[in-house]
Amino acid sequence: MAVKIDYYVFISSPWAYLGSERFATLARKYAAQVTIIPMAPLTLFDATGGLPLLKRAQQRQDYRFVELERWRSHLGVKLNLRPKGFPTNETMAGKLVTAARDSAGNDKAITLAHAMMRGLWAEERDIANPDDLKQVITENGLDAGKLFAAIETPELLAEYGRGTQQAIAAGAFGAPFYVIEGEPFWGQDRLDFVERKLAGLT
């Protein structure tokens, strides 16, 4: 029986971007059943004591760049430390990934989420811009018109909100956040432990 993983993300998180492909590779390696769940950052922070980046102490903001540079170099991942589209409002992107999951399945939604992250952090795309998002969706073989229509429905808005509430109930307070058979792992720097967990369950 496949191991189940709940994969909680912020589409705008550089840490989620840095871990996205590595996590997907692990999930395939261990044939895990992954559910991607986009979260609303401000709702999550309000519920768990977090702060948006620009409200954090300057020391924390400065050190973030140190760590991003370290991880970018360590992983050999293309990442612009100061992309033009960040900070951003990721609500539209998160709802679109939710709609893609519901209509096309988790695998395609995970691929789409990574493409949006890469667009923001490596390609100078604006994930709050509908035209940029439509282009990313189309490039990944999905129907942009269908997904944009879906995110206008009350049902999809409610589904997106439930995802964040589910994350809060699961103990999430940041992204990426992985829950494997009830055990939480926070951060792309915990992927070694994620693999140990998966190896022990398969």
pLDDT at 168 over 90: yes
The per-residue pLDDT for 202 is 83
What is the rounded average pLDDT of the residues 32-53?
98
CA distance 202 to 195: 11
DSSP per residue over 126-195, as a string?
A: -TT-HHHHHHHHHHTT--HHHHHHHTTSHHHHHHHHHHHHHHHHHT--SSSEEEETTEEEESGGGHHHHH
State the DSSP H helix or E strand holding residue 64, giving kind and residue range, or none if neither.
helix 58-75
Rounded CA gap, 39 and 25, in Å?
22
Domain boundaries, the chain: 4-201
Measured distance CA(142)–CA(37) in Å, rounded = 18
Given the candidates 3.40.190.10, 3.40.30.10, 2.60.40.3710, 3.30.300.30, the CATH classification of the domain at 4-201 is: 3.40.30.10
Residue 13 among the catalytic residues? yes
Residue 1 pLDDT greater than 90, yes or no: no
pLDDT tens digits for range 86-134: 999 999 999 999 999 999 999 999 999 999 999 999 999 999 999 999 9
Q: Which of 12, 13, 20, 103 is catalytic?
A: 13
State mean pLDDT over 139-153: 99
The mean pLDDT value for 19-48 works out to 98
Residue among 26, 67, 39, 20 at smallest CA distance from 192: 26
